[in-house]
C-alpha cells in the first residue's frame, strides 16, 4: 500500500472506531440502566441519536435490549470495513469475509472498551480516590459486572485492590484467543 492509502485507512479506522466506541457505550449503558441524566450519558445519546433514532422506527427494542443500537453498530462496522477495503485494495470485500470480519471487529472493540474502562477507573482511583465525577460513576457502573466476581475471590493486599489485573489479563486473552483470530479469518475471506 502507498503512504496515501495507509493514511486513508488509518483515518477511516480511527474515526469509525471512535464512533463505534460511543455506540457500544450507548448500548451497554442502556442495558445496565445507567442514569440517563448523567452528563456523559447525555453526550453519548446526543452523539448517537442521528443514527439510532431513525433505525428505532423500524427496529423496536425487545426484552430491554436496544436492537436499533445493535443494528447501528453492525451497519457502521460494515461501512468501515468496506471503506477500508476500498481504500487499501480498490475492491469490495467478499460478503462472508465482511460478516466474519465485522463480528471479530465488534468483539475486539467491545473487549477493548471494557479493558480501557478498567484502566481508566484504576488510574482515577489513584489520582483522585474520593473525587466525585460523572465519568467516575459511569466507569464504575460499566466495569462492576466484570469486577464483582474478581473482587469476591481476590482480596485487597495492603489496601490495594489488585482484582483489575486478572480481569484485564482475561480480557486480553479473549482478544488473543477468540476475537483477533476471528477478525483475521474475516480479513482473509474478505480480501480474496
Q: Which of 53-62, 78-87, 143-152, 161-170 has the lowest mean pLDDT?
A: 53-62
- In this predicted model, what pLDDT tens digit does every residue of 78-127 receive, in sequence order? 999 999 988 888 888 888 988 999 999 999 999 999 999 999 888 887 77
Cα 125 from Cα 123, distance rounded (Å): 5
Q: pLDDT above 70 covers what percent of the chain? A: 99
Q: Residue 26 phi/psi, 5° resolution?
A: -60, -45
Domain that holds residue 72: 3-190
If you compute the radius of gyration of the chain from its CA atoms, what whole number of angstroms results? 19
Cell numbers that stand for 16 in this block: 469509525
CA angle 59–65–70, rounded 5-degree value: 60
What sections of the chain are H helices per DSSP?
A: 3-31, 39-56, 67-89, 95-127, 134-153, 164-174, 180-190
- In this predicted model, what pLDDT tens digit does every residue of 173-190 receive, in sequence order? 999 999 999 988 888 888
Structural domains in the chain (count)? 1
Amino acid at each position: 500500500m502507498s503512504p496515501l492509502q495507509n493514511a486513508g485507512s488509518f483515518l477511516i479506522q480511527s474515526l469509525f472506531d471512535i464512533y463505534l466506541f460511543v455506540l457500544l457505550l450507548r448500548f451497554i449503558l442502556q442495558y445496565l440502566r445507567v442514569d440517563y441524566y448523567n452528563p456523559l450519558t447525555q453526550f453519548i445519546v446526543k452523539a448517537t441519536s442521528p443514527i439510532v433514532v431513525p433505525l428505532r422506527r423500524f427496529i423496536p427494542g425487545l426484552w430491554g435490549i436496544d436492537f436499533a443500537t445493535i443494528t447501528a453498530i453492525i451497519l457502521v462496522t460494515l461501512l468501515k470495513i468496506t471503506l477500508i477495503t476500498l481504500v487499501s485494495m480498490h475492491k469490495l470485500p467478499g460478503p462472508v469475509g465482511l460478516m466474519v470480519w465485522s463480528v471479530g471487529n465488534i468483539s475486539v472493540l467491545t473487549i477493548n472498551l471494557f479493558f480501557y474502562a478498567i484502566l481508566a477507573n484504576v488510574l482515577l482511583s489513584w489520582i483522585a480516590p474520593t473525587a466525585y465525577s460523572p465519568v467516575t460513576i459511569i466507569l464504575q457502573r460499566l466495569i462492576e459486572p466484570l469486577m464483582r466476581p474478581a473482587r469476591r475471590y481476590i482480596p485487597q493486599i495492603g489496601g490495594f485492590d489488585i482484582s483489575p489485573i486478572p480481569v484485564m489479563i482475561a480480557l486480553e486473552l479473549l482478544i488473543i484467543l477468540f476475537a483477533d483470530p476471528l477478525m483475521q479469518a474475516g480479513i482473509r475471506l474478505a480480501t480474496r
